[in-house]
Structure 1
């Protein structure tokens, strides 16, 4: 367990990051409203996209996809410019000269975005559970594991992506590859059981797919070996992202 000194340092770093996030209207908009706008997009075009063509209802697909939208936008896309901005302004380098450890510095930067995302996920689950086509999560334990692993993975992926991002403005471009891959392969805009078997098998081992599989299993009560495989894959991708952070993250400005 972290000691009181560690928690105090994390609290101070997190409060500073929250202040910066609140002052940055574009970042706050992306974290709070963009996931809801994307959910509205899916609601509008659900039939056109064929969201209900597989084993799940349109409401089930959109409800679980909303969780994925929060992870991708409120966590991943929000944190990349945060890490890049702190690096280019030499904030990270100055913090390293103090008492805070590297892990505390990186975690403190992520805490506000993660807390906002957790609140959004709780609201989405509460609202979705009241929908006539859905119900309360059947396996809350799996749902919590999926959300927590997804947030940890997205934080680590954001840190890795920031290493290859030169400016805050270019963060929107460098975030696109993982964002699009996650959207296309994780069942957020098309159910995997409607795809050819070979394509579906490839999509199921992509980074974000096991996270969404755990979310769907927790909310909609999927089961068996698929859940075990999704859990192992999510842990493996998260561990790989952690290794990539240690290998490639830059503390010094790129400019």
Structure 2
């Protein structure tokens, strides 16, 4: 157990060093979520959020956390997995004592830690600058963020299996990014959409995560609703893990 923890820590430190050196990845991780949330403010002002029991500030806070999960974890990790594969780093690591799960988890550690830190900053900023107050259900917020990090990690690994180069990662990540950003209720709750569209959106990968995040920030969800949201997220995690085990590549395509 201790040896596994030490291996994970070593992999995490190495990946953090590479992340710090990659200025593009740092800009995406640190600045892009803020820029995208700011750009949504005027658009959300025209949406009747009160029908879903939300305020503009509440929508911005939940959307900010959703953007952190998508940009910091999913987009960055897809590129990281592809880059390490093409550089033969993953292949070399597999020749040692490190397990496959430890390799993927170690690569994901810096992005996961950064996403957690940014989520905390979002909550603190909301309480200080937006008068949003603290989270109404902290346990649901923590569960939503953690499930979101795990889900985005395994989805990144699954997307990396379809991605040939780090440059093409910008293309292969776009479909899932756009679908989740527009349909999973990051800023506008799924409840405000027409019934047929809402039915589809409820089954998208991030919808369950966002329902937990929103309930944690703003309250209003009972135990059954929270359980259903968590179950949907867990189902997507399980399906993504199956895809990773079956199709993830550990060395470049020839």
Determine if the TM-score, normalized by the shorter chain, exceeds 0.5. yes
Counterpart-to-counterpart distance in 2, 1:51 and 1:67:
21
Please give the per-residue CA displacement for 1:190-225, whole angstroms capped at 9, x wherever unaligned: 332222112112211111101000001111112123
Alpha-carbon offset, residue 42 of structure 1: 1.3
Asked whether 1:54 is paired with 2:42, we answer no
Q: Tell me, yes or no, if the aligned pair for 1:92 and 1:105 is still in contact at 8 Å.
A: yes
Aligned to 2:35: 37
Aligned to 1:247: 246
TM-score of the superposed pair, with normalisation by structure 1:
0.95
TM-score of the superposed pair, with normalisation by structure 2:
0.95
Trace 1:154-193 onto structure 2 (pairs within 5 A).
154-193=152-191
Aligned to 2:20: 22
Q: CA RMSD in A?
A: 1.4
Counterpart-to-counterpart distance in 2, 1:232 and 1:95:
34
Counterpart-to-counterpart distance in 2, 1:246 and 1:64:
32
Alignment counterpart, residue 216 of structure 1, candidates 209, 214, 217: 214
Aligned length: 252
Q: Secondary structure in 2 aligned to 1:54? A: helix
Alpha-carbon offset, residue 53 of structure 1: 5.7
Alpha-carbon offset, residue 133 of structure 1: 5.1
Structure 1 residues 64 and 189, CA, compared in 2 at 3 Å: closer, same or farther? closer
Structure 1 residues 81 and 132, CA, compared in 2 at 3 Å: closer, same or farther? closer
Trace 1:91-170 onto structure 2 (pairs within 5 A).
91-132=89-130, 134-170=132-168
Alpha-carbon offset, residue 51 of structure 1: 6.2
Asked whether 1:78 is paired with 2:73, we answer no
Please give the per-residue CA displacement for 1:24-82, whole angstroms capped at 9, x wherever unaligned: 0001111111111111111243224x263632111111110100000000000000110
Please give the per-residue CA displacement for 1:83-116, whole angstroms capped at 9, x wherever unaligned: 0011011110011001111111111100011111
Q: Tell me, yes or no, if the aligned pair for 1:207 and 1:237 is still in contact at 8 Å.
A: yes
Runs of 4+ in 1 over 4 A off after TM superposition: none
Alpha-carbon offset, residue 132 of structure 1: 4.8
Counterpart-to-counterpart distance in 2, 1:23 and 1:206:
34
